[in-house]
Amino acid sequence: MESERYAEAFRHLRDVCGRAVSEQDALLTRLLRDNKDTVYGRRYGFADIHGHADYREKVPVTDFSDYDGYISRIINGERDVLTSAPAVFFNISSGSVGEQKYIPIVREDIDKHRLYAEEAIPGIVQNELAHDDPDELFGCIFNVGDVFMTSLADGRLCGVRSGIYLQSAMAAGTLDTSVYTAPPDIMFPREITDMLYPKVRYALANEKVTAIHGVFVHRMAGLFGYIERNFSAFIDDIRYGRVGEGFRMSDSVRKQLSGRFAPDPERADYLASIAGKDLADGMLLKIWRKLRYIRCINGGQFSIYGDSAAEYVRGVPIHSYIYAASESGIGVSPGMGMRGEYVLLPDVCYAEFIPADGGDGTETLTIGEIETGKHYEIIVTTLSGLYRYRLGDVIEVTGRYGEAPIIKVCYRRELVMNVADERMNVSQLETAVMLFERRTGISTLQYCFSGEMGDMLPRYVLYIEAPLTDVQDAGMILDECLCRFGVNYRNERIIGSLDVPAVKTLKPGSFADYYSIFRDGKRNDQLKPLRILTSTEQISFFKSRMEDNNGE
């Protein structure tokens, strides 16, 4: 039974975390042994490395730019470059301006993702909701996440970390799709397009929904607002078995849905009975009376969106299930009440830590050496061939789960805009703003970005110290510029996870005043241009300096 498999995966999580220190040592030894004859392994003498001290001395700390040549060779079909195991999947992440970067993934990496994200996580849920029958927990899932059946030119799969197992299993024909409210062609489209309407349409018509699965809570917050705003229209569509004309979707998706839905006046009558001005308060349990839990990443930088969804989800527990990056899985949340805290998985990546108050990677610490309450930059060696790789995340150790540290992400070492998992770096933002300036004639000598919640979706805000005179649709123009130079930003806009950005004008002298107040003892020649606001104090300052009349 599935419930027994989930319970076994949960037991594995507890066991492996109970011996986390020795598990990490064994993982490093195995990765060095298995990959000693690769191009990378020969270059850095993996065969002669014995333990963490040797590894730290002989192998450099890396970032993505160190792997460009190696990954190109792998994409071109060469074997034994970074790993002895072949790459079977390529994770897509944001690269430099206007580019995507591809991260090779081996089968073991996908298997570990399945073990933890698709088996141990349900094991944690059924352990904490033990009074519920497993069929009542996992029998009917409204999956909000986007999994597109994309591939490289030669047919090898490529996609995002969150969908790596589902996409692989779907391609192999081994995925049980019967538990999802939407059919496979809606759940797993072959092109990147907005599938929000059909997913909601199928879910609202199904009274048996027991769980809602997504990736990030910002997507959930937008989804719940979308349902509330369009509730009457959805009721009419369900009543008459039609596809609503007023909803955003591509012509191909509309054609795909044609003739699929039978009229369901009984379900429509029930939904109409709960409609009203108080619909938002506990909306999910009103719509789906069998709903037991929600799974999405909630906490840290996404807390603002979790707060905006709180009214809708009242009475339904949320599991902040996973901490992962394009490069590797890293941790899972071992309990449903832990918002944004994750136990590091000792058999998924080998972790090293640089104290956040300084360090160049030459004196990294292991999981047994880091201390609760302190901050560290995390470095990982992955199953798929990234060695001593700087993720860029600075974490705080908040406790222990067995021997494994419980961590939460505090901030990024290098600044990025990341309100919907799009991760636009400063270079991408600056290039987009240069194009915005050319297209509008607006001076952007002084500008910065922040994120905020729009009406129902997160959006970028560009603050500029210049008037918007005679410029129409500045937000739409900025959106086009950001889409051109940020591939992940463009994809999030396509699937409806981000709203159109806003352009806000500031009173003259705002940036000079900012640098005077926030200089932190630095001389003028030491101050770097402000591009991304990272603190509530910064955001509050610029909001207080906005002109009274602002274009959007």
Cα–Cα distances in Å, from 247 out to 255, 256, 274, 277, 366?
13, 15, 22, 22, 52
Rounded mean pLDDT, 484-503: 89
d(CA 74, CA 31): 18
Is residue 510 included in any domain, yes or no? yes
Query: Please, what is the average pLDDT of the chain?
Result: 88
Residue 424's pLDDT band (boundaries 50, 70, 90)? confident
Q: Note whether 282 and 309 are within 8 A (CB).
A: no
Q: Is the pLDDT of residue 526 over 60?
A: no
Same domain, 174 and 82: no
Same domain, 204 and 238: yes
**DSSP code, position 9:** H
Express each pLDDT in 291-349 by its tens digit: 999 998 876 656 656 667 788 988 899 999 899 988 999 999 998 877 789 999 999 99
SS3 446: coil
Domain interval for residue 352: 13-105+348-412
Is residue 325 included in any domain, yes or no? no
Is residue 461 included in any domain, yes or no? yes
The more confidently predicted of residues 527 and 244 is 244
Angle, helices 426-440 vs 474-485, to 10°: value is: 140
Q: Which of 362, 387, 412 is the last residue of a domain?
A: 412
> Hey, how many other C-beta atoms are within 10 angstroms of the C-beta on 9?
19
Same domain, 169 and 219: yes
Quickly tell me which residue has 């009984």 as its tokens: 266
Q: Is the pLDDT of residue 117 over 80?
A: yes
pLDDT value of position 40: 98
Q: Note whether 292 and 132 are within 8 A (CB).
A: yes
Quickly tell me which residue has 């799969």 as its tokens: 157
Q: Is the pLDDT of residue 200 over 90?
A: yes
Same domain, 385 and 266: no
Q: Note whether 408 and 374 are within 8 A (CB).
A: no
d(CA 526, CA 538): 19
pLDDT value of position 361: 55
Same domain, 231 and 262: yes
Same domain, 224 and 369: no
Same domain, 145 and 87: no
Same domain, 78 and 163: no
Residue 186's pLDDT band (boundaries 50, 70, 90)? very high
Is residue 513 included in any domain, yes or no? yes
Burial bucket for residue 55 (CB in 10 Å: 0-12, 13-18, 19+):
buried
Same domain, 404 and 290: no
Express each pLDDT in 78-111 by its tens digit: 999 999 999 999 998 765 555 678 999 999 999 9
Is residue 48 included in any domain, yes or no? yes
d(CA 372, CA 375): 9
List own/partner pairs for 312-318 with CB under 8 A and 24 or more apart: 312/224, 312/228, 312/280, 312/282, 312/283, 312/284, 313/220, 313/224, 313/284, 314/281, 314/282, 314/285, 315/282, 315/285, 316/284, 316/285, 316/291, 316/292, 317/128, 317/129, 317/293, 318/217, 318/293, 318/294
Q: Which of 299, 316, 333 is the last residue of a domain?
A: 316
Same domain, 168 and 305: yes
Rounded mean pLDDT, 236-250: 90
Side-chain-side CA neighbours of residue 279 (13 Å): 18
d(CA 329, CA 145): 17
pLDDT value of position 525: 37
Same domain, 134 and 260: yes
pTM of the predicted protein model:
0.80
Is residue 367 included in any domain, yes or no? yes
Q: Note whether 499 and 384 are within 8 A (CB).
A: no
Is residue 227 included in any domain, yes or no? yes
Domain of 511, CATH number, reads 3.30.300
Q: Note whether 422 and 482 are within 8 A (CB).
A: no
Look at the chain and report how many structural domains it folds into: 3
Is residue 332 included in any domain, yes or no? no
Cα pseudo-dihedral 462, 468, 471, 473, rounded to 10: 40
SS3 353: strand
Provide the H-helix boundaries in 129-245.
134-138, 164-172, 184-187, 196-204, 217-229, 231-240
Q: Which of 394, 412, 430 is the last residue of a domain?
A: 412
Same domain, 307 and 385: no
Q: Is the pLDDT of residue 524 over 50?
A: no
